[in-house]
Amino acid sequence: MKIIILFFVFVLMGIAKTPNKNGNDFSEYQEYLNKKQTITMCVDPNWMPYEKIEKGKHIGMAADFMAIFQSKLGIPIVLVPTQTWEESLHFAQERKCDIFSLAMSTPSRLEYMNFTKPYMSFPLVVATKLDTLFIPNVEDIINTQTLGIVKGYAFVELLRRKFPHNRLIEVENIQEGLKKVSNGELFGFVGTLTTVGYELQKKYIGELKIAGKFDETWELGIGVRNDDLILLDIFEKAIAQLTSQDSQAIFNQWISVAYDEKTNYDLAIKIAVVLLIIMALVIHRNRNLQQYNQKIKKQALQLESINKELVRTKKKLEKSLNGIEVIYDCMLDAVFIFEGKTCIDVNEVAVKMFGYVSKEEMKGLSISAFSHIQSLADVQKKFKENTLPYEVKAVRKDGTAFPALAQGTNIMLNGKKVRVSVLIDISEIKNKEKLLVQQTKMASMGEMIGNIAHQWRQPLNIISTTATGLKLQIEFGEFKEEEAIKELDVLNDTVQHLSKTIDDFRNFFKSEKERKVFSVEQSIKKNLKLLEGMFKIYNIEVIFERVEEFSIQNYENEFIQAVLNIFYNAKDALENKSHNKYIFMNIYQENQHAIITIKDNGGGIKEEVIGKIFEPYFTTKYKSNGTGIGLYMTHQIIQDHMDGKIEVENQTFMYENHQYTGAIFTIALPLS
């Protein structure tokens, strides 16, 4: 008689079968089997005692079952060698093998395999270090402890579906997983009772143990490619014909150890020694636990004291927070606090500015409730970082939009990352700015009308002289048709010139809403004709030094208004010079920008005021002669409206062997 020592707790066997009435009769599938000739099989190459590939041969429990199935079917079941279980899964997906010898159904595997009813069933357990306490409910630790599991195994997918916040770590095989548990890299390893017990008995006695069991069991059947239903039926029938004797014999061979029936006193002594050592360890552990309990009690008292201090600190913080809330309610700017993109608090100014009834009404609203659709994308982009003040279009509760200046900072508040945004309503500033624009245009219109009046004197004289001449010719009977036609052509050209002047004047004051492509050189030269009369009166010569032909995409009328303001400024600087009055122009491209320079020889701008000339209402003229808004509007147009840059400096230069000093304005505009 032999004593059978089962490996840990014996496996759950759902395979005790009674022989099928039809015995080994597969005649109904004979034609299919004759045509099939061989069945290709993928296995787990390293999953003992279930199965393994050793020196190119399939061994283990599954191999013994496959031998039984092969004898029943009458055709060979051929092994497809692989290095890992993951490789076996890939081979099955690529149809390189007809069956899995031993596998469990999962949703992803059903895309390429069908599965028979199980012919082996084993508990799912977790192995840990020996000093780990027994785990009554393994599911309590799956979200808190790192647990290893072999890559590609069915329970990787099933456990991750069931526990989305799991801390499962995939390993190549069971040996790697248990080694990482032993080294402290993993808290535990998840596997079947049979395979884990097999490895623990071989390598980790006295070091690792089975510390808990899942509710789930590993139900293992045969996986069959899902495009061959006949083969699935064949293996279902083969499994149904397994007897409990066949299964028991295979289990006894692989998961039990046999000894002679004679009494082995050496073994008994060894067992007694081991038991004594275990008892000593238990006594030592109990003493340690008593010491730990005393430490825990001491720490509990310390924690209680700390908790009381925290309560007092919390009350102080609440008072401070109430004080802070009063302070930011007294601010003149609207203050928002966002968590993510959701408003969690505002001050009273924000409530009034945006037209709401209370703070509670604004809390919980998205940023899109306060930002106009035209500004929303830009605001959301800037939410990711701390920003300097930038202009946005805000929207009130009633849907009306208004311009605002915004600034935001990301901070940590009560352990949360929040966004503090501050807004200022700049509607009044914008209205004043519009008024300034209108004042500038009116001032420009007055000067332009004066220029046109000077410019039209000569053409009007030509018209008057021509008309009078024709009248006299007719009255004295000296009218000659050929000469009259020539004089009428001169008259028509003069009228067309006057008409063109009117068109240019009207276009100059036309407002633009969209940027358009225009030639910088042609635009400047066309509009300088409006100033010809002024230049002639003051004997000013405009000299184009460097001119390149190219186009930009921007607001042409606003550009011309800005340039003409600089010409007016140059005219004022040259007005009191007696002779040699020059304005030099350069138009060229540099670093993807259009560069326009306007330079005069009027003596330059005083150093103490040159930094102020772009400020509103600043003027160096007598108050009766200047508004102080021309250069301010030029600065606003170039930098705010046209996304460019304008600078001014004094420069000393040579022209025709004479040295001059004057102011040079440099404008840089993007080409597109």
Looking at residue 308, its pLDDT comes to 76
Write the single-letter amino acid at 544. Answer: F
Q: With bands split at pLDDT 50, 70 and 90, how would you rate the model's confidence at 330?
A: low
Tens digit of pLDDT for each residue in 130-156?
A: 888 888 887 788 888 999 999 988 888
370-379, 502-511, 566-575: range with lowest mean pLDDT? 502-511
Tens digit of pLDDT for each residue in 257-294?
A: 333 334 455 555 656 666 667 766 667 667 777 777 77
Q: Give the CA dihedral 288, 290, 291, 297, nearest 10 degrees.
A: 140
Looking at residue 110, its pLDDT comes to 92
Looking at residue 260, its pLDDT comes to 34
Say whether 353 sits in a helix, a strand or coil: helix
Looking at residue 15, its pLDDT comes to 41
Pair of tokens at residue 575: 């007005």
Residue with tokens 């209370």: 358
438-442, 466-470, 481-485: range with lowest mean pLDDT? 438-442
**Do the strands 208-225 and 113-115 form a parallel or antiparallel pair, or are they unpaired?**
antiparallel
Looking at residue 218, its pLDDT comes to 83
d(CA 445, CA 509): 8
Looking at residue 223, its pLDDT comes to 94
Report the greatest alpha carbon distance in the chain.
Answer: 163
d(CA 667, CA 587): 10
Per the CB < 8 A criterion, the answer to whether 504 and 483 are in contact is no
Q: How far is CA 254 from CA 2, 61, 77, 200, in A?
A: 16, 7, 22, 15
This prediction has a pTM of: 0.37
Looking at residue 221, its pLDDT comes to 93
Pick from 640, 649, 616: which is nearest to 630 by CA? Answer: 616
Question: How many C-beta atoms lie closer than 10 Å to residue 200's C-beta?
Answer: 19
Looking at residue 238, its pLDDT comes to 92
Tens digit of pLDDT for each residue in 517-559?
A: 999 999 898 878 777 777 888 889 999 999 999 999 998 888 8
Q: With bands split at pLDDT 50, 70 and 90, how would you rate the model's confidence at 38?
A: very high
Average the pLDDT over 334-341 and give the result.
Answer: 90
Which residue has better confidence, 492 or 105? 105
Looking at residue 398, its pLDDT comes to 93
Pair of tokens at residue 81: 């060698």
Q: How far is CA 183 from CA 55, 138, 204, 561, in A?
A: 30, 21, 12, 79
Q: With bands split at pLDDT 50, 70 and 90, how would you rate the model's confidence at 8?
A: very low
Looking at residue 614, its pLDDT comes to 83
Three-state SS letters, 607-628? CCCHHHCCCCCCCCCCCCCCCC
Average pLDDT, the chain: 81
Average the pLDDT over 41-47 and give the result.
Answer: 93
112-121, 221-230, 262-271, 520-529: range with lowest mean pLDDT? 262-271
Question: How many C-beta atoms lie closer than 10 Å to residue 201's C-beta?
Answer: 13
Q: How much of the chain exceeds pLDDT 70, in percent?
A: 79
Looking at residue 27, its pLDDT comes to 85
Looking at residue 458, its pLDDT comes to 52
Burial of 226 (0-12, 13-18, 19+ CB in 10 A): middle
Looking at residue 252, its pLDDT comes to 83
* Ordered structural domains, the chain, with CATH: 3-117+228-257 (3.40.190.10), 124-207 (3.40.190.10), 331-425 (3.30.450.20), 431-670 (3.30.565.10)
32-36, 266-270, 369-373, 578-582: range with lowest mean pLDDT? 266-270
Average the pLDDT over 656-661 and give the result.
Answer: 93
Write the single-letter amino acid at 203. Answer: K
pLDDT over threshold 50, residue 383: yes
d(CA 82, CA 80): 7
Q: How far is CA 651 from CA 293, 552, 562, in A?
A: 87, 28, 21
Q: How much of the chain exceeds pLDDT 90, in percent?
A: 36
Q: With bands split at pLDDT 50, 70 and 90, how would you rate the model's confidence at 95?
A: very high
Per the CB < 8 A criterion, the answer to whether 258 and 4 are in contact is yes
Tens digit of pLDDT for each residue in 591-635?
A: 999 999 999 999 999 988 888 888 776 666 544 344 456 788 788
Q: What is the DSSP letter of 121?
A: E
Looking at residue 5, its pLDDT comes to 34
pLDDT over threshold 90, residue 222: yes
**Maximum mean pLDDT: which of 184-193, 203-212, 255-264:** 184-193
Average the pLDDT over 376-394 and give the result.
Answer: 87
Pick from 70, 77, 90, 58: which is nearest to 24 by CA? Answer: 70
